[in-house]
Amino acid sequence: MKILFDANVPRPLRREFTGQNTVTAQGMGWGELRNGDLLRAAEEAGFDVLMTADQNLRYQQNLAARKMALLILPSNHLSVLRPVVPAILSALATIQPGAFVQISRA
């Protein structure tokens, strides 16, 4: 699975996803892209999931026709995200293109 971390997701979280192909928006040169443009670029590059802490993205974008999924994190603070890594991994195991998954705080 190819996962793109939005610019608002802490980079150290990548260490929690060994075995997954995780790339940051900054690493792709997309740190300045916003919402629709970022989704379009990620989809064209073959990403399966965009992981973001942007709580409003789901309301701003129609994912139904997308080839990738959106996973919304409860925060952009690593201390909040580490305890929910099992929930994120569980969601990644079943997520489908065009889906939206909201991860709750632990």
Instruction: Provide the whole-model pTM.
Output: 0.90
Encoded tokens for 17: 């996803």
Strands (DSSP E) found in 1-106: 2-5, 21-24, 49-52, 69-72, 100-102
Average pLDDT, integer, range 76-103: 94
CB 66 within 8 A of CB 36: no
**Number of domains the chain contains:** 1
- What's the domain range around 23? 2-102
Q: What local confidence, expressed as pLDDT, does residue 64 receive?
A: 66
Q: What local confidence, expressed as pLDDT, does residue 94 receive?
A: 95
Write the pLDDT tens digit of every residue in 30-60.
988 887 888 889 999 999 999 999 887 766 6
Residue 20 has pLDDT above 90, yes or no: no
